[in-house]
Amino acid sequence: MTVAAPVTEAPKAPRFRPGDILKQRELGIVLALLALVAFTAINQPRFLSSQSVRDILLNTAILAVVAAGMAVVVITRHIDLSVGSVLGLSAFTVATVMQHNQGLPMVAAIGLGLAIGAVAGVVNGALVHFGNVPALVVTLGTMYAYRGITYSWAGGQQVTADEVPRHFLRFANADLLGVPWLVLIALVVIAGVGLMMRNYRIGRELYAMGSSPQAAGLAGIGIARNTLVAFVISGSLAGLGGVLYASRFGTVDASSGNGYELQVVAAVVVGGVAVFGGSGTIWGAGLGALLLTVIGSALAVLDINQFWQQAIVGALIVLAIGADRLVAVRIARSLRKRDSHV
């Protein structure tokens, strides 16, 4: 896994107190989520049927894995628009390899997906840092390029579910003690990346870079290495997302994951990660992914026009950044007030 670079010296981790929960930014999402689930379940009890819950969790898992990587990049004050293309490239490559090597174990597939994503991430990170070009532009370019590579290789072909080995497909639905593998992987990723960002030096440095790139540079933080690390994490997790996608849906073609980056950015922003970097949490991004998925299935269950979903997602993004701005203005004001007493 790509989590947890070796620690040289762990700074004091923020200690967790139960009272802090009330101050958490993510509280809003949790409440919205609970309200949405309660409302939907009351109106349509089959929403909480085990099959429906399972579908929601499986769909959330893929989105959350990619969103965790995106959150790292956004916290560092960059953005990675290439994740949808990386997911597609990884999904098609892994599915093709599995098609030709039926005996290959699942671990190899996951390793391959991670490796493809990591390479894509290194390219992104190197272009951003050494080319001195904003991530928005670089990843917009590589989004086209990676997608183009998949298309020129795959053309109109697709790998269908009956061509890939059974165990590869079964993986998405198999569970360990009742918890699907996909969900377990998502939980491990969120916990791992979250721990890295919260408790390890590299994570704190990424936050520092997001808060003020200049100050971080002056403080002696290795900007080059850290930028690469952030993009490699994002790329690898998008690659992992591709493996999970191929395993869950079985049928993969060159357009798989087209436009996925938008959903991922939405999950991250709705999950309380500030677009200007420096704040937000990985588990917030995971919650954002869950909220988006739940909205989707709630609309379906409540028989509301599915077409509303995207409009709601858009409205949510605007609301989330608006709320974020409000909080930031408030904090700035209270800080100024406190300073005036000194």
Partner 1 sequence: MSELRGRLASWDSVIILITVAVLAGASIGVENFGNSTNFTFLILDLLPIALIALPMTMIVITGEIDLSVASTLGLTSAIMGDLWNRGLTIETIIPLCVLIGALLGAVNGVLITRLGLPSLAVTIGTLALYRGLAFVVLGDAAVADFPWTFTGWVTGTIGGGPIPNVLILLVVLAVIFGVVLHATPFGRSLFAIGANDQAARFSGIDVARTKFWLYVVSGAIAGLAGVLWTLRYSSARADNGAGLELAVVAAVLLGGVSIFGGRGSLWGVLSGVLLLAVLQNALRLQDVSGQALNIVTGLLLIASVLLPNIIAGVRNSLHRRRLRAVPAKSL
Contact residues toward partner 1 (CB under 8 A) are 79, 127, 131-134, 136-138, 140-149, 151-152, 155, 254-255, 259, 262, 265-266, 269, 275-276, 305, 307-318, 321-322, 325
Q: Using the minimum distance from each CB to partner 1, give the nearer residue, 3 or 91.
A: 91
Q: Using the minimum distance from each CB to partner 1, give the nearer residue, 7 or 318.
A: 318
State the nearest-atom distance from the C-beta of 178 to partner 1, in Å: 35
Q: Using the minimum distance from each CB to partner 1, give the nearer residue, 205 or 324.
A: 324
Q: Using the minimum distance from each CB to partner 1, give the nearer residue, 32 or 275.
A: 275
Cα separation, 17 vs 23, whole angstroms: 11
Q: Using the minimum distance from each CB to partner 1, give the nearer residue, 10 or 136.
A: 136
State the nearest-atom distance from the C-beta of 14 to partner 1, in Å: 26
State the nearest-atom distance from the C-beta of 89 to partner 1, in Å: 12
State the nearest-atom distance from the C-beta of 310 to partner 1, in Å: 3
Cα separation, 82 vs 121, whole angstroms: 9
State the nearest-atom distance from the C-beta of 141 to partner 1, in Å: 4
How many other β-carbons are positioned within 10 Å of the β-carbon of residue 213? Answer: 18
State the nearest-atom distance from the C-beta of 324 to partner 1, in Å: 9
Cα separation, 98 vs 102, whole angstroms: 6
Cα separation, 73 vs 25, whole angstroms: 19
Structure tokens at 210: 């997001």
Per the CB < 8 A criterion, the answer to whether 164 and 246 are in contact is yes
The upper half-sphere exposure of residue 52, i.e. CA atoms within 13 Å in the direction of its Cβ, equals 18
Q: Using the minimum distance from each CB to partner 1, give the nearer residue, 151 or 249.
A: 151
Cα separation, 211 vs 216, whole angstroms: 8
Q: Using the minimum distance from each CB to partner 1, give the nearer residue, 269 or 289.
A: 269
State the nearest-atom distance from the C-beta of 55 to partner 1, in Å: 22
The upper half-sphere exposure of residue 166, i.e. CA atoms within 13 Å in the direction of its Cβ, equals 0
State the nearest-atom distance from the C-beta of 246 to partner 1, in Å: 19
State the nearest-atom distance from the C-beta of 304 to partner 1, in Å: 11
Q: Using the minimum distance from each CB to partner 1, give the nearer residue, 39 or 144.
A: 144
Q: Which long-range contacts (CB under 8 A, 24 or more apart) does 27-33 make?
A: 28/272, 28/323, 29/270, 29/271, 29/272, 29/284, 29/287, 29/288, 29/291, 30/287, 32/291, 33/287, 33/290, 33/291, 33/294
Q: Which residues contact 138 (CB under 8 A, 6 or more apart)?
A: 124, 127, 128, 131
Distances (CA, A) of 42 to 33, 37, 39, 334: 14, 8, 5, 41
Report which of 74, 71, 77, 325 is spatially closest to residue 210, judged by C-alpha positions: 77
User: 3-state class of 277 per DSSP?
Assistant: coil
Q: Using the minimum distance from each CB to partner 1, give the nearer residue, 31 or 137.
A: 137
